[in-house]
Structure 1
Amino acid sequence: MTTYQTLAVAPAPADGTAVSDRPRRASASGTDPDEACLHYEQVWGGRGFRAEAVDDAFTYRCSSVDDGRVTLLTSTFGGRLHGEVPWPDRYAVGWFREGAGSVDHRRGGHRSRASDPFPLPTELPYELRLSPHVQHVVQVEPGFLEETARERHGGPAQLVVLDGSATPAPEAVQGWRRALAAVTGPLVEMGTSPLLRAEAQLVLVHAILDLFPWSVSDVPATVRSVGPGRLRDAVDFVHEHAHEPITPSDVAAAAGLHPRTLQQSMSRQLGASPAAYVRQVRLDRVHAELLRAAPREVHVADVATRWGFGNLGRFSASYARRFGEQPRETLRR
C-alpha cells in the first residue's frame, strides 16, 4: 500500500508575488514495488519503470519541497529501480548517501562516484538504473537556470549542457556542499521571505554552474517547444558535431530522415536549409569564442578558419548579418 501526503501549501500572496514564493511539500511511501514504480514514473517523468526487491521487507519513501523554481527531493528505495526518462525538461543534480546509480543516453552516460554530485541530462532521453539507495536530487526550472547562466556567457538564454563525463574538482564539490547547506533552510521553510528565497535560489544555481563544465546550445525555441522528434534529433546532431566535417546527408541519416524530407522540415520550422543551419551554428560558435577571447591573444582569421570559414570576406558579411557587428568588434568587447 502506498501513502500519499501533501504536507503544506502556503497561501497565495495578495501582491501577486511569483509562484516560486509558495513552496509545496509532498511525500509518498509504501511497501508495494508496483505502486512505487508508478510514483517514481511521476517523479522522474519516466515510463516503463521496474522495481526489484532485494528482500522481503521492501519499502520506499519519497519526499519533496517545490517552490516552482527549485525542487529538493529525497528518495529512500529498498530495491533496484530501472526505467526510461523520455524527455527530462528540468535541470537536475543528484547524489547518493547510500547506494549507486547509472545514466545512459545516446551521447554516452556516467556512473555515480561515491557521494559526489552528478548532473542528469536535460532535453535528452536517458535510461536510469539505481541500486537500493538513499538519494538526493535538486531540480531547477530551465528558464531560471538559463537566465542565470546568461550572466556568465553574455549571450541570450540558451539550453545549458552540463558535462556529466567530467569529474568535479574537489574544491567545486566542497563549494557545492557549502552552498547546499546554506540554502536548504531558506528553501524548505515556509516562512522564508521572497527576497531571501530568491537569493537562495541564485546561490544554488551558481553552485551548479561552478560544479560542472558546461556549454550552451542555441537550439531554436520553436524546436525546444515541440520536444523529442526527428527534427530535434537533427538539430541536436548539428550542435553536437558542428566541429566535424558533417554534411546535410549526415544530418538526415542521424535523424532517420530522407535528405529531402529534412530539407523541407528545417526550412519550414527553422527557415534554413540543413547546410545553412550548420553554418549558423558554426557562426554562433565563432561568436561565443570571440566573446571569451583576449583581443591581444586571438586573431579573428584563426577562429574563423578553425570553424570552417575559408573565405574571410564572405565570413565577415555573414557574421555582420547575424550579429549586427563585425567580428573584430566582438573581439574588442
Structure 2
Amino acid sequence: MNSDLPPLRTAEQRGSDLDEARAMYEAGYNGDDFVTELTDSPFEYRYTVRGNDEMTLRTSTFLGSIAGGIQPKDEYVVSWLTVGEGLLDVGQDEAPMVVGRPFMFPTGRRFRFEMADYRQSLVHFDARFLERIAAEHDGTVVGPVHFDHSAIPDVDRLRRWKSTITAVAKTVLGDDDGPLLRAEVNRTAAIALLETFPHSGPTRPDAALLASNARLGAAVEFVHAEAHRPLSATDIAVAAGLSLRGLQQSFQQLLAVTPMEYLRGVRLDRVRAELLELSPREARVSDVAKKWGFAHPSRFAAAYVTRFHEYPTDTLRRSR
C-alpha cells in the first residue's frame, strides 16, 4: 500500500439550528460577517464530505438564506447548484449561480456570496496537489492557478466535465478505496477541471527560485532572450554551463518540465502576445505560428488551447 497517499476522509454534519449552521459554514470556509435567516422553508442543513486530502467531494443543503465573505484556505473549489439560487462575488465581478452549471470560486482573494434554499455539490482540491497537476498538464511552473469564475465553459467542455465527475463520484463514494485507484481518480478529476475552466498560472520561475539556482536561472534567461532563434537542449546547456543531463535534471526537478517544453511555452507566449497586438486584417495565425517555429497547424492549435484555453483565431479576433 502506498503510505504516502492521504487517508480517506468522511464526515457529515446536519441539524436544524440556524446559529450552529452559521458557525459551521463560517469556520469551514474561512468566512466572516455571515448572516443567516429563515425563509418560507422549514430550516435544516446538511453538509457531507468524502475523499482525501488531495480531493474531496462535498454536498451542502441549506433551507434558509445565507450570505457572507469567504476565502477558502489552500484550496480550489468548483461547485454547482442542483436546487436554489445564489450570487457569487457580490459587489465586485458578480456572477449568478445557475442550477446545473458549474462555477469556480474566485481564487486568491476574499469574496462575498448570497444563497437561499439550495442544494449544492462541490469538489475541493488541495492547492498544492492541483498546482502540481496544473504544472504537469499545462507545461508551466508549479505555483498559484488563477481561475476566471465569471467565464462560462462551452457546452462540449461542460458535457465532458459532467461525464468525468460522474464517473469520479462513483469511485469516491463507492466501497473501493484502493490507494492506486484513488490516486488516479484524483488526478483524472484535476485534469478535467483544468480542461474545463479557463485558468492561468505562472509561466516563469520566480526570482527567489532562480537566485538559489544560478545555473537554472541562466538557462531560463537564455531561453527567454534567444527564443526567436533555433535552439536545442544542448545550446541551452552550454549557455548555462551545465551538462545536458544536468540541464534536464534541473528543469525536471525544479520546474517540472523539460527544457524544450519550457522553450515551447515561451514561444507560445510570444505568439499570443503578437496575436493580441495584430488584427485579422494584418496577419494570419499560421504566419505568426510559423515565425515562432510551429509548423504543424493542428498540433500548434492544440498546444495553444491547452496553454491559453482559447483558439488562436479567437485571440486574433478579439485583439485591438
Question: Structure 2-normalised TM-score?
Answer: 0.63
Cα 1:55–1:160 change in 2 (3 A) is: same
Partner of 1:291: 268
| Cα distance change, pair 62–113 in 1 and its aligned pair in 2 (3 A) | same
Q: Unaligned stretches of 5+ in structure 2? A: 209-262, 278-291, 295-320
For 2:27, the equivalent position in structure 1 comes to: 42
Q: Distance in 2 between matches of 1:39 and 1:96?
A: 20
Structure 2 counterparts to residues 274-289 of structure 1, below 5 A: 288=265
Using the alignment, how far apart are the partners of 2:77 and 2:134 within structure 1? Answer: 15
Question: How big is the alpha-carbon RMSD for the aligned residues of Structure 1 and Structure 2?
Answer: 3.2
d(CA) in 1 for partners of 2:61 and 2:103? 18
Asked whether the 8 Å contact 2:90–2:113 carries over to 1, the reply is no
Runs of 4+ aligned residues of structure 1 deviating over 6 Å after TM superposition are 218-223
Aligned to 1:210: 195
Shift, 1:113, TM fit: 2.1
Q: Structure 1: any 5+ residue segments left out of the alignment?
A: 1-12, 224-285, 307-330
Pick from 70, 74, 81 the counterpart of residue 96 of structure 1.
Answer: 81
- TM superposition shift of 1:152: 3.3
SS at match of 1:77: strand
CA contact (8 A) 1:31 1:58 kept: yes
Equivalent-residue separation in structure 1 for 2:133 and 2:34 (angstroms):
33
Secondary structure at the counterpart of residue 139 of structure 1: strand
Partner of 2:316: none
Residues in 2 aligned to 1:206 and 1:299: alpha-carbon distance in whole angstroms:
23
Moved more, 100-109 or 154-163: 100-109
Alpha-carbon deviations, 1:66-94, whole Å to 9, x = none? 30000111011110110111454311100
Rounded Cα–Cα distance in structure 2 between residues aligned with 1:198 and 1:221: 29
Match of 2:5 in 1: 18
Distance 1:195 1:66 in 2: 14
Aligned ranges for residues 119-198 of structure 1 at < 5 Å?
A: 119-189=104-174, 191-198=176-183
Partner residue in 2 for 1:5: none
Shift of 1:55: 3.1
Contact 2:48-2:58 within 8 A present in 1 as well: yes
Q: Which residue matches 2:68?
A: 83
Name the residue aligned to 1:259. none
TM-score, normalized by length of structure 1?
0.61
SS state at 1:40 partner = helix
Deviations, residues 75-126 of structure 1 (Å, cap 9, x unaligned): 1111011011145431110001100212216861311122100000222110
Specify the code of the residue in structure 2 equivalent to 1:27. E
Partners of 2:172 and 2:207 lie apart in 1 by 33
Secondary structure at the aligned position of 1:157 is classed as coil
Match of 1:211, as an amino acid?
T
Q: Name the CA shift for 1:47/1:33 in 2 (closer, same or farther; >3 Å).
A: same
- Deviation sequence 1:140-162 (CA, Å, 0-9, x none): 01111111111333221121111
Task: For residue 46 of structure 1, report the CA deviation from its aligned partner.
Answer: 1.1
Q: How many pairs align?
A: 228
In structure 2, what is the Cα distance between the partners aligned to 1:66 and 1:299? 38
2:85–2:99 CA contact under 8 A, matched in 1: yes
Residues 58-73 of structure 1 aligned to structure 2 (within 5 Å)? 58-73=43-58
The 3-state SS of whatever aligns with 2:89 is strand
- The CA distance in 1 between the partners of 2:182 and 2:98, in whole Å, is 30
Which whole-Å CA distance do the structure 1 matches of 2:108 and 2:10 have between them?
A: 26
More displaced, 213-222 or 50-59? 213-222
What amino acid maps onto 2:70 in structure 1?
Answer: V
Report if aligned partners of 1:41, 1:47 keep a CA contact under 8 Å in 2. Answer: yes
CA 222–189 in structure 1, closer or farther in 2 if over 3 Å, else same: farther
Distance of aligned partners of 1:89 and 1:111 in 2 relative to their CA distance in 1, 3 Å threshold: farther
Deviations along 1:250-283, one digit per CA (max 9) or x if unpaired, are xxxxxxxxxxxxxxxxxxxxxxxxxxxxxxxxxx
Question: By how many angstroms is 1:175 displaced?
Answer: 0.7
How far the C-alpha of 1:222 sits from its partner, in A, is: 11
CA distance in 2, matches of 1:143, 1:86: 16
